[in-house]
Structure 1
Amino acid sequence: MAMRPSAPTGAEPAPADPGTRTSVMMLSAVVLLVLAVGLFGGRHDASSDTARLPPPVGQAAPAAPPPPPAARTTPAAPAGKHLPRSRPVRLLIPKISVDAPFTDLVIGPTGQLQPPPANDTNLVGWHAAGASPGEAGTAIIAGHVDTKTSAAVFVGLSQLKKGDAFSVARADRHTASFVVDSVEKFDKDNFPNERVYGDTPQAQVRLITCAGSYDRSAKDYTENLVVFAHLV
């Protein structure tokens, strides 16, 4: 039985200047809005290190324009309960026995969000340039549903229901607790980018994985499963 990997190490990110923080969030939101979620199932033939999330059908991923000048100096006021920025350490979902460390997910050179490595079945990723879990904004957490050889960390994600609880242990030693608002499936060819990725003044989280049937010709799943949740 393979041992679970330990939590990744790394220096705690410094608190962002409000203007800089807003610029990053606006830029990240623009980039994310051109993405359709892709390979969060690991049964593709390409190396897991080169798997990428494809842009919407028929589109190339355009370069993100800079945020408008006003956005650089006028951050949106946070609404409701929220925590300061801090790196996530572990995702804990008791109902489906998830206890997994985090890795950073970044936007690659083609403007696409890279998924977590497919060779680690107990690993989740977060969009490190976006909101951290518990911080005001929309934090993105992604994980594989399976690999070529076995089930993966988010194989049971569809079992979550409205009202279920989960938490994120953070590097600042605070725990961000969340409650599920809804669990929904979306066809990858008609993925609601703005609804899923759009920034919010509240502290919210999206848990994302693959769903639907596996298309062997496309080497991809036909749908994405998204869990919408908020900080409590």
Structure 2
Amino acid sequence: MAAHSSPPGARVNLTVLCAVVLLILAVSLFGGEDSSSGTSRPPGARHAPQAAPASPGEQAAPVERPADRRERSARARPVRLLIPKIQVSAPFVPLSVGRSGQLEAPPADDVNLVGWHAEGAAPGETGTSIIAGHVDTATSPAVFAKLSELEKGDVFHVARSDGSRVSFVVDALETFEKDDFPDKRVYADATRPEVRLITCAGDYDRKVMDYTENLVVFAHRT
């Protein structure tokens, strides 16, 4: 499965999903489950990013208004992730940060499913979007089983709810120890549309029922 640290504001260990598997929520954009269920932590979803409290003399962030919520719900949402090089064509499910501070994982009973941090930037919007997926389950490979085969310059796409399709080019692939996941680097906001694809990597630690590393694909909109 996949597991990652947290998106900006909440450390996601998307800590965007694993079990000889994300994803995620990822993201930190995705807690552990019993290995008998065939799943482990969400990709990269460690602790979801939480907004830091306002310092003395600094105003707290304004409360979101109903109009703001309507605008957010009306935006173009991702509906399918397409990565031709590794034969991925997977629908999206929205993920949120749970009470544990971790990004929730995509349902483990569907190996061809990816999740996105719905409280952050949607793929194609300005900012950093977190997409998490499982690498495998206890019984079979999952959607991001071949994610490590991507290379700099490879292109993937996201089909959106408004009928549009946005494309992204891979900038780099990096693997990080989950205990030393660079949250700020992975989840930091961006001035252009960027995406992080996150899943589990490394060895599977049966004691904690989780993989030891996260694989992160850095990409930007073309």
Rounded to whole Å, the distance in 2 between the matches of 1:194 and 1:71 is: 20
Rounded to whole Å, the distance in 1 between the matches of 2:49 and 2:150 is: 35
Q: For residues 51 and 162 of structure 1, do their structure 2 counterparts lie closer, same or farther at Cα, with a shift above 3 Å needed?
A: closer
* Aligned mate of 1:165, from 149, 155, 178: 155
Amino acid aligned to 1:183: L
Amino acid aligned to 2:167: S
- Secondary structure in 1 matching 2:10: helix
Q: How many residues align?
A: 188
* Aligned mate of 1:99, from 89, 92, 103: 89
Rounded to whole Å, the distance in 2 between the matches of 1:151 and 1:190 is: 26
Rounded to whole Å, the distance in 2 between the matches of 1:171 and 1:66 is: 35
Deviant stretches of 4+, over 2 Å: 35-39, 46-55, 61-72
After TM superposition, the structure 1 = structure 2 runs for residues 1-232 of structure 1, keeping only pairs within 5 Å, are 29-32=8-11, 35-36=12-13, 38=15, 40-42=17-19, 44-45=33-34, 53-55=45-47, 64-65=51-52, 69=59, 85-232=75-222
Amino acid aligned to 1:144: H
Q: Are 2:131 and 2:197, in contact at CA under 8 Å, matched by a contact in 1?
A: yes
- Secondary structure in 2 matching 1:195: helix
Rounded to whole Å, the distance in 2 between the matches of 1:39 and 1:228 is: 13
Q: Are 2:19 and 2:39, in contact at CA under 8 Å, matched by a contact in 1?
A: no
Rounded to whole Å, the distance in 1 between the matches of 2:49 and 2:196 is: 24
Which structure: larger Rg? 1
Q: CA deviation at 1:216?
A: 1.4
Identical counterparts, % of pairs = 57
C-alpha RMSD of the superposition: 2.7
Q: For residues 37 and 91 of structure 1, do their structure 2 counterparts lie closer, same or farther at Cα, with a shift above 3 Å needed?
A: closer
Q: CA deviation at 1:36?
A: 3.2
Q: CA deviation at 1:118?
A: 1.2
Q: For residues 63 and 140 of structure 1, do their structure 2 counterparts lie closer, same or farther at Cα, with a shift above 3 Å needed?
A: closer
Of residues 109-118 and 205-214 in structure 1, the stretch that sits farther from structure 2 once superposed is: 109-118
Amino acid aligned to 2:34: D
Amino acid aligned to 2:164: H
Unaligned runs of 5+ residues in structure 2 are 1-6, 21-32, 63-73
Rounded to whole Å, the distance in 1 between the matches of 2:109 and 2:207 is: 22
User: What are the superposed Cα offsets for residues 117-153 of structure 1, whole Å, 9 maximum, x if unpaired?
Assistant: 1111000000001000000000000000001110000
Rounded to whole Å, the distance in 1 between the matches of 2:162 and 2:38 is: 31
- Secondary structure in 2 matching 1:40: coil
Q: CA deviation at 1:110?
A: 2.4
Rounded to whole Å, the distance in 1 between the matches of 2:120 and 2:53 is: 16
Amino acid aligned to 1:36: N
Amino acid aligned to 1:190: D
